[in-house]
Every structure is written in C-alpha cells, then in structure tokens.
Structure 1
Amino acid sequence: MRDGVRDMAFTVVSLGGPVAAEGEDIFRAAGVRSLSTGPYPKKEEVIALLRDSAAEAIIVRLVERVDAEILRASPRLKVIAKHGAGTNDIDVAAAAELGVPVLAAVGANAHSVAEHALALMLGLAKELRSQDAFVRGGGWEKKAYGGRELRGSVLGLVGIGQIGRAFAAMAEPLGMSTIAFDPFAPEEAFGPHARRVATLEALLEASDVVSLHCPLTPATENLIGAREIGLMKKSAFLINTARGEVVDEAALVAALRAGRIAGAGLDSFAPEPPAAENPLWSLPNVLVSPHIGGVTPEARREVSLMTCRNVLSLLRGEALAPRFFVRPR
C-alpha cells in the first residue's frame, strides 16, 4: 500500500517454495497475490500455474531451469527474479528477447556464504569429519590426528565480489594472507584484505586454499579441471560455494583419489540434486553440504526482503539500482 492506496492486484509465483515470511508480509501489505510450488517442480506444472494465474512476476528458488517456454507461459509476465545471486537456472538471453528483465538479490546472502566457505576450510584443515567419526567409534588416539594450523597460509579467491571480500576479511584474523584473481573487477574491489594476481595459474600455484566465488558463465564452466588442479599444491584444499559447473567433477574425483590435492569442501554440484551414487560421497577427504551456504535464516530473510522489494518496485514502475539487473553474457 502506497500513500494509503492499495496497489493494483499483481500475481507473483515463487518456483521451488515460498519466500520468507517477511517477504510474504511485503506482498500481503501491497495486495499482491503470492503463489508457490514445491521444490524442483515439473516443467508442465510450472507452465500450467503461470498460464492459469497470469502471473506478472516469477521468483526463482529451487527449479531445474526457467527456459523460453516457461517464460512465455504467462502473457502478463513483467519480471523474473532470482532468490539469490546466481542466475544459471534462468535463460537470461531468452528473457531479454522477450523484453522481461531479470533481477538478482546481489549481496543479500554474501556474509552467510563467506561464513560457510570459512567453515568448510576449517573443517578440512582440522579433519573434523574424520575426528568426529573416530571419537564416536570409541577412538581417543591423538597421534593419529593430522590437522594443521592455517596461520601463515595463503587463501586464493577466484572471484572478488561481495562474498570473496567478506571471506578475505574473515581469513585475516586467522593469520592468513589472501590473493585473488578476477579479470573483471576494478582495483578498488580488492580492498584492504586481498592482493590481486594477474592469472589464474599464478593463484593456483601459490595458494594453500583455493576458494571459488565466480559466477557460472560460458567462460567459467569447467574452469577448474585436471590441468588447473595439477597446478595446485598437493597439500592444498579446494572450496566451492559457487556453482558446481565451475569444477570438472570427474577431474576433481580423480585428483582426490590420487592425492594430487589434500581435500575439497563442496556446497554445490552439477547437477543438483546430485546423484545418490556420486563417487564424491565415498572419499574421506571431502566435506559436502547441500548448497545451503546462503540459506541461513538470516540470509534467507535478507534475500527474500531484497527480492520482494525489488519485484514490487519494478512492477510499480519505480527505479532500481543497476547492480540488480542481470544481462545476457
């Protein structure tokens, strides 16, 4: 409601579950009809819901992909918004051809994702998975512990957006130094906590921990493959809280089995959800989580608030900051 007048009745469909309660409150106050599906709905279900509801907006949470056919399902569609930052599950080029802007909640969950990357790094360095299982199994032999300090180590960030900058700031009090590779970032993006390196190869060779924070684009798909892993130290860890497709998973499995790197902490996979028989599950030097780095209650609330406010602003014809708009690459 603006100036005491209720907005015209818009319909918003959330694919993969509803937004947080605070986001629903925003829509309710504005008179918006908010509908949602369950996680990973079937394509025909999505098309039918959009067609029958004549939705003006789509919010993308947990769905395999929003393609041109889905985008055409509602003749009144005016905006599609990602409930998060990564838009690889949206056909952005098709949306542009249809004149439908794509929005992303840039930076809303950055702190939570950075904390999760930190947790994966610490879990690997301190052997938390194996030590937990060891004690639960009746063990108490400290000589078997192979954990290490991170003080004096080098953290290498592939991508220096808001998540990367937050992670670099968290690593500094541990006594780590941070280097970063990001050919698209201006100098000021590196801030006081990270030093720029000119090439990915230089970063991989120098880092004790490599953490991925780049978007998924044609240029970054399989960015970390057998060649790149071969450049890393044998004692190094790989952390991925970005997108699973950035890593050649088969090459990573082979490297972990052969001991070419010390371990990996993975929060994202390709595809998602991953197969039940994924070979990563059997490897003792891997920590995994189900792509939840950015879905703490605090982050989910902030993402929902940002997404809902941006969707409502666009439907009202109000101006939005350029950083929220996603354009075809």
Structure 2
Amino acid sequence: MTTTIVTVGGRMAAEGLAMLERAGIECISTEPYPTKPEVLALIDKHQPAALVVRLVELVDRDMLAASRKLKIVAKHGVGTNDIDVAAAKALGIPVIMATGANAHSVAEHALGLILALTKDFLRQDGHIRNGLWDKKLYAGSELRGRKLGLVGFGLIGQILARMVAPIGMQVSAYDPFAPEEAFSGGVTRATSLDTLLAECDVVSLHCPLTDGTRNLIGAREIALMKPTAYFINTARGEVVDEPALVAALQAGRIAGAGLDSFAEEPPVASPLWQLPNVLLTPHVAGVTEDARRAVSIMTATNVLAFLRGEPLARNLHARV
C-alpha cells in the first residue's frame, strides 16, 4: 500500500519532493494558506502518514485526528506556533522541525534590514522616484562602532553576530537559555533584557514564540530603547506588542523598524503600512530559494528516516 504525505500550505522544493517520490511516497499538497475545510477534506481522503506544515494559519487537533495513519508532523522550517503541539502530544504524534536549515538566510535578511534602515535607503529611493535629487536630505549613518543587541542567541543570532563583526559593530545578546560557550568572538552576555534594550543602537529579535516570549517587547520595553535606535524582527510577530510598536514609531520614540513578521499573517490593513520609518517584508527571511531547498531536503530526510525507524538528522521534537 502506498504511503502518502500531505504538505499543508504549498509544495516543497523539487529536491525534497524528488527524495520522497524516489522512496515511493505519494506527495500531495494544498495551496498556500488553505481553509480548514480544504485541509480536512484532503487529509480525510488520503489518510497521510505524515503532514508537512508550510504556509497555514493553524494545523489544529481536528486536522491531526483526521488521518488514522498519521505518525509524524514535520514543520517545513522552524517555529511551531502554526501547529497545535499540545494536541499532537496528546495524540502521541511527534512534531519535528528543520532546525538550522534556513538560519543563514534569516541572518542575512536581518542584516539587510539593518543596513537599509541605517543607510536611509527607503527614503532616498522614494526621493529619486519622486524627481527629487537633494543630498542634504540624506540621513544615513555608519554601523561601525554601534552596538547590536540580539534578543535570543541561537544559531541565527550567532551567525548574525559573526556577520557584523567585520563591519565593526559591538554585539550584546540576551538569552537565558544559551550556553556560555556560545558567547565568543567578542559577543557580550547582557545581564538583563532591560539593559540590552537601553544600551543598543539596533535591537534584533531572534527568539522563538513561546508562552514566555509572547508580547515580550511591549510599551515598557520599547520606552527603554534609545530614540535613535532601530528595531528588527525576523522572528515571530507575536513576540511584539504590535500596537505599542506602532505608537512608538508614530511618536518617533525610536528611529525606525525593519519587520519581516507580524501579529496577524497575512496581515490586514495596518498603520505600519503608512509609516515612512518602517521597512516591511512579507515573512520571507527564511525562504530564499537556497533556504527553501535546504529546508525541503532536511524535512524530507527526517520524515523518511522517521517512517523507516532511523535516527533523524535534526531530532528536535517540539515542546509543550
């Protein structure tokens, strides 16, 4: 009997699909952001042994229970806020992630946002498109000698720290769970989140979304930041109190923000869209073609290994 895998939220990259198909796996996928009835109908029809989760609002208990054959759920990337992990645990279904496969892509994206904001690219591009050529309006600055604060110091944060070192930035990181050996190459460990926010010229989020990090950055925390500081989020939108961030940006309490993730995705009309000191991208930091291939290959490798009873390359079960 053929083993089936359903990808919820768009197809995997060709390289990952080819690995599965060579192993005799039938691969079926929905379109990005499918409705719950669409997902339930597909799962009920095909009874997959595995679900691969890409672009979807939530894989909930009903979806997890819809296949009697479901053995594993694999996140095509990292972060499991779009999976009901508690329900999966109750049903005895492990949840795994492609940890690290797109870390370099996300770190590069964060650096790109930092550079674009500090070099005033967005405003300068707008001036020229509107027929204005006036160098006196340039408000760019150097990153050399400035301090980058990383909230979360896992693989992405560590890669970004290495990237900015040749520029001449100082780096401080706050992560109560990071081991001491992670702090090398001149990176200092912040004694508290408040201290990091108050001292840094750029604050970049790289922590997962958990009960402990939801709304971690609110009005009080933003008020601690320098008025000249930039705020970068390539993590999860829910880590930030978005209305508080909007209010701070509107009032000029911080200089600007580069945002790749939002409290609601896809976002509805937001005041963020109207702010000239905000640079927005649609949660694409980790989905370059290179990263998508790497994530798909790791996901396919781990799903196949699990179904065969073999060790996983990245055996990270999501925690409840």
Relative to the length of structure 1, the TM-score reads 0.96
Residue aligned with 2:292, SS: helix
Alignment correspondent of 1:112: 105
Question: 2:178: which partner in 1?
Answer: 185
Q: CA deviation at 1:48?
A: 1.1
Q: How many Å separate the matches in 1 of 2:137 and 2:17?
A: 51
- In the alignment, the residues of structure 1 paired with residue 184 and residue 318 of structure 2 have an alpha-carbon distance, to the nearest angstrom, of 24
* Structure 2 equivalent of residue 3 of structure 1: none
Q: Are 2:134 and 1:141 equivalent residues in the alignment?
A: yes
Residue aligned with 1:319, SS: coil
- Alignment equivalent of 1:210, drawn from 199, 203, 206: 203
Question: Percent of pairs identical after alignment?
Answer: 61
Secondary structure, counterpart of 1:325 in structure 2: coil
Is the Cα–Cα contact under 8 Å of residues 156 and 208 in structure 1 kept in the other structure?
yes
Q: Give, in angstroms, the shift of residue 193 of structure 1.
A: 4.5
Counterpart residue number, 1:5: none
The answer to whether the 8 Å contact 2:298/2:313 transfers is: no
| CA RMSD of superposed structures (Å) | 1.0
Matched AA of 2:299: T
2:273 aligns to what?
281
Where 2:203 maps in the other structure, the secondary structure is: strand
The whole-number CA distance in structure 2 between the counterparts of 1:16 and 1:26 is: 19
3-state SS, counterpart of residue 326 of structure 1: coil
Q: Does 1:163 align with 2:162?
A: no
Distance 1:315 1:192 in 2: 40
What CA distance in whole angstroms lies between the structure 2 residues aligned with 1:164 and 1:323?
A: 21
Q: Counterpart of 1:269 in 2: which secondary structure? A: coil
8 Å CA contact retained: 1:165, 1:191 = no
Moved over 3 A (4+): none
In the alignment, structure 2 segments of 5+ residues that lack a partner are none
CA contact (8 A) 1:169 1:193 kept: no
| 1:19 is aligned to 2:24 | no
Counterpart Cα distance in 2 of 1:117 and 1:237: 12
In the TM superposition, what is the alpha-carbon distance from 1:326 to its structure 2 partner? 1.4
Cα distance in 2, alignment partners of residues 113 and 319 from structure 1: 27
Q: Provide the C-alpha distance between the structure 2 equivalents of 1:103 and 1:209, rounded to a whole number of angstroms.
A: 32
> Aligned-pair distance for 1:191?
3.0
Q: Which runs of 5+ in 1 are unaligned?
A: 1-7
Aligned length in residues: 320
Q: Distance in 2 between matches of 1:323 and 1:223?
A: 28
C-alpha distance in structure 2 between counterparts of 1:224 and 1:173, whole Å? 29
Matched letter for residue 200 of structure 2? S
Post-superposition CA distance 1:206-228 (Å, at most 9, x none): 10000000000011000000000
Partner of 1:102 in structure 2? 95
Residue in 1 aligned with 2:192? Answer: 199
CA contact (8 A) 1:165 1:193 kept: no
TM-score by length of 2: 0.98
Query: In the TM superposition, what is the alpha-carbon distance from 1:190 to its structure 2 partner?
Result: 2.4
Q: 1:322 to 1:135 in 2, by over 3 A?
A: closer
How big is each residue's C-alpha offset from its partner over 1:263-313, in whole Å with a ceiling of 9 and x where there is no partner?
Answer: 0000000110000x2000000000000000000000000000000100110
**How far did 1:321 drift?**
5.1
| Offset from partner CA, 1:202-247 (integer Å, 9 cap, x none) | 1001100000000000110000000000000000000000000001
Query: Of residues 82, 86, 111 in structure 2, which corresponds to 1:89?
Result: 82
2:52 and 2:74 in contact (8 A); partners too: yes
CA distance in 1, matches of 2:36, 2:218: 32
The alpha carbon displacement at 1:140 in A equals 1.3
